[in-house]
Amino acid sequence: MLAESLSATADPRALPYIEQVRLLQPPEADALLARGKASAGEVGAAAEHLEAAFRGCRTFPWCYRPLLARSLELAWELTQRRPDLGAALFETLAEPFAVRTLDGQRVSTYFSIGLATDFPGRCLAAFAALEPRVPWERRVLEQRERCYTLKHDPRAARAHADLAAFVAATPGTIDGGLRAGGR
């Protein structure tokens, strides 16, 4: 807790505590270093530490869930600040963590990073993580249809039908989803 508190403000006094954490929880130490680097404005170094933390969490089943959840949020924040970091974070999040810890949040972050940083290049992999239970949300269904159509994927027809079914079932929509009374 002390290491995380100090890391959040880029306080150098966090380092000895982080090294103590590393002895028992190596992925958490990398997550803490990532938070410290991000707080210090060293976004590239923060992303590298996050990648190490996420790789470690694939085989280390005792990761502290709240810290891992905050690290997934940090991955999204870093990607928004520096989209060029998205490729490595996207690849690192492709595989599940041990015992599928925080799998829903991991997949959501993976999906979001993929679509935000290189839609044409990553959309098939991003949607593969969601299929066959794609969230029944208009934005997601629209992006799914766009992806499969763009990539000439055989699932494009199903994506189009799902989007049409969603729009038809949404109360108050007429002609392409405009709400009654305008936007």
For residue 180, name the pLDDT band (cuts at 50, 70, 90).
very low
Residue 163 lies in a domain: no
Query: Is residue 61 packed enough to be buried (19+ CB in 10 Å), middle (13-18) or exposed (0-12)?
Result: exposed
**128: in domain:** no
pTM attached to this predicted model: 0.88
Q: Count the domains in the chain.
A: 1
Residue 149: the pLDDT is 98
Q: Which domain holds residue 6?
A: 2-97
Question: In the chain, what's the furthest Cα-to-Cα distance?
Answer: 61
| Distances from the Cα of 169 to the Cα of 95, 163, 165, 172, angstroms | 35, 10, 6, 9
Residue 127 maps to a domain: no
Distance from C-alpha of 57 to C-alpha of 47, rounded to nearest angstrom: 15
Question: pLDDT tens-digit profile of 122-171?
Answer: 999 999 999 999 999 999 999 999 999 999 999 999 999 999 999 999 88
pLDDT digits (tens, 9 = 90+) for 53-86: 999 999 999 999 999 999 999 999 999 999 999 9
